[in-house]
Structure formats: C-alpha cells, structure tokens
Amino acid sequence: MKIYCKNKTKILCFLCFAVFAISCSGKTKKNTNPEFSNPMAQAFMDAQKSDKSKAKGKKTEKKTKEPVAVIEVNPLEVISFNRDKAIVDTGSKPFNERKAIELVRDMKTGWNLGNTFDATAGGNSLSSEMSWGQPKTTKAMIDGLAASGIKTIRIPVSWSRHITDASYSISPAWMNRVKEVVDWAIEDGMYVVLNIHHDNYEKNAKMPKSAGFYPTDENYEESAKFVCNTWAQISLAFNNGYDEHLIFEVLNEPRLRGTSEEWYYNATSPKSISAMNNLNKLTQNILDVIRASGGNNKKRLVAIPSLQASPDSALASTFKMPQDYDGSKDRLIVSVHMYTPYNFAMESPGIKNYSESVKKEFTSMFKKLNDHFIANGYAVYIGEYGATNKNNLEDRVAWFHDFIKESRAYGMPCFLWDNGVWKVENEKYDEHYGYYNRNSQNWYFPEIIDAINSEIQ
C-alpha cells in the first residue's frame, strides 16, 4: 500500500481521517458500499489504487501478478474505535530515516519492563501495572537503567483488559500512562520498543469479542478487528511527536495457546501451518494500519515476530515478513526470543554448568538467523533473552559474555527479559529472570550487567 499526497494540507487531512481509512489488507478495489459516506477515506482508497505503479523500482505488471496477501476483512469496516476519546499525539519531531540494519546496531543492549504493563490481573484499572508484584514504574527507575548503560527499553503492554466499549476503544488513562513511561525513556536518549504483549487468547476456541487475538481461521476476523483497532489507537497516540527512537513491535509471542503446538512449530502439522498463515495475514494487517496513519509512522521501524517469536519458526519456510508499502525491507525488523539453550537458560532443573556445547547451540542459531535474514536485507533483534538463576552466577556471567559477544558480531541487539524474580528458593529455578532492582535502582547481579556492557563497547 502506498499513501499518495500532493501537499501538506492533504497530509493533515489524511492524519485526521486516517483511522477511518486504515488499510488492513493492501486491497486496491474501490469501496462500493452506498452507505459509505467518508469522502476523504474514499479518496485515500482511490489514491492507493492510482499510485500502486509508482513504487520505486517496481513494474505495474509484476505488482498486479504478485498481490501482498489475500485478506478477508474490509478495512473500512474494521476500524471502529471512538476517536472522540482517543489520545492524539500533537507533537512534532523530525525523523532521521536510517536503514533498520544500521539503526538496530545503535540500540546496543536493552532491558524489558516485564510483568508490569503486560500484567493482566487487576481488571481495567491503572493498578493492573502492579498486579503481578512489580512496583509502579517511576522516572527514577528509567533514569537508573539509562545510567547503567541500557540503551533500549522494551515496554510490553497488554491492551485487551483496557478496552472500554464494544468498538475496541482503549482507556485514555491507560494510553496516557504508557505514554508517560515511554516519554521518560525517550528523554533519557533511549530507544523504546512498544508492543501488544499478553493479548493472545488463552485457548483454541471461538474467541469472544475484544478478547485479543488467536491465529486460527475461526478467529482470524475477530483477531483482525482487535489488532487493527489497537494499533490504530497506538499509532494515533504515538506519531509525529516521536522520532526514530520509538519502534513498534506488532505482537509478542503469537501462538496456539492451550494446544500441544503452543511452544513448538510443527512444520508438517496443518494446525501449525494454518496458524502461521493467519499470523502472516495479521502482521500484514498491522503494518498497513501503522503506515496508513501517516506522518512519522510511515517511516517508523516495525518489528515482526514469527509464531512463538522462536528462532526455529522464524526460519520456517511458511513464515513471511509483511510487505511494506514500497516493497522496502529497510524499515522492518525480525523479532526473535532466545533463551538458548533451553536446558541451561530456562529449564528447571536443566543444567547449571556453562560449556562449549552450551555455547555451540546459540552460536549456531545466530549464524542461521544472520544467513537467513540479515544476509537478505532484514534487520534482526533479540527481543527477549536471559539465563534463569540457578545459583550459578559464574556460569551465567560466562554465558552472558559469549552470548552478547556473538550477537554483537552479527549486529543483533539483545533485550534482557526481567520479571523481577531473582531469589532462588527450594532449588526451583524456572522463570528467575530478575536482574534490576526497581526499588533501589541497582542490579541484583552487577557482574552480569558488567559482562553485558563489556561486550558492547
């Protein structure tokens, strides 16, 4: 999809009306619904059709023969949120366009604000931020991270519990609270990754309205409504006031929750293959929504995960990166999570000792990701990584040294997953990914942050 504007006035009009015309499909067919009464949105759709052939370096014939995707939803019917209550970005910042492969190198090392805005207890109130046991995020926390060498903060956010009506409208208070923390990080000169996190419906069944998304044929249409409306509102709240330091990550770990294939991509299973196909459609939907919001969002870097955000499924032939409006790969990032190898980095009890065989597993995977994506023009970042605490600090420090050294060699920045859980009790090691003390603004294991920082210089 390409947005066609002749002057500044038209750009402003498009920004005002973009939420009505957000394209979730890449279709070029003119809307013929007699009840459709938004002339600016109609002009927008017509402009897409007339401007298709102007994409740089693309022939009209080839574009016609190779459509982006086959989508079932009508984009003009999908966007329905109450714009009168939506948060609108009124800022103005110049955007320094850089290729994604170059920009991600500058992201260096990152940290996740885990179990915070992604927490799903506490209902739809602002107190849900603390509902998984983490303290309320403060500016002092963000300042402390920046001072300790963290260059990028990934802010996972769950949105479905904060929908206020049947039109998918997000609570303005929730959006403003997210903006507040994003702004603190931007003010500290950090990069920020903002996403949809724990909104994957919990079981493989017909999904209720506004419950999130689920990558099956049965739930595709409702999923598209949720993700398109959510990203339309995020794009409205974060646009011209944010430069290239803000990155959008479309989804977190999309998967078949409640099934045997939730955390495993089975390349021979019709269920897995169908889920990947639906995910490919949803990520194209979201990218089109973001681009249609115009302004800085037309240039913003957007990160895309595969099923489970796992490296194995990302390498599968069925995973497809969405197509940007001009066919460029320069604004797209592949988002991968690596707790590698599982028996050392995540499993309880698993293994505690770091060895050459442990190292070989992640060095091999970095090379595969490089050869498959970076060598073909796509940037890659590791949106989550870490090694769970097994009272094996020396081995973990060695793992962090080599993991970051290897990732830096390929230009893949890594963002530490931090859920605040750090103290081992009764030799239970699972999910102990606490690193940063959010109350005192120091590190539970300073040896680990020192190891990371030593490898990114």
Query: Which residue from 93, 100, 324, 64 is spatially nearest to 187, judged by alpha carbons?
Result: 93
Q: CA 22, CA 48: separation in Å to the nearest integer?
A: 11
Instruction: Find the length of the chain.
Output: 457
341's tokens: 């190898």
Q: CA 54, CA 112: separation in Å to the nearest integer?
A: 40
> Rg of the Cα trace of the chain?
21
In sequence order, what are the residues at sequence separation of 6 or more whose Cβ sits closer than 8 angstroms to the Cβ of residue 108?
151, 152, 413, 456
Bridge-based pairing of strands 152-155 and 191-195 is: parallel
Are 136 and 130 in contact by the 8 Å Cβ rule? The answer is yes
Query: Which residue from 28, 14, 16 is spatially nearest to 75, judged by alpha carbons?
Result: 28
Q: CA 341, CA 357: separation in Å to the nearest integer?
A: 9
Residues designated as active site: 197, 253, 384
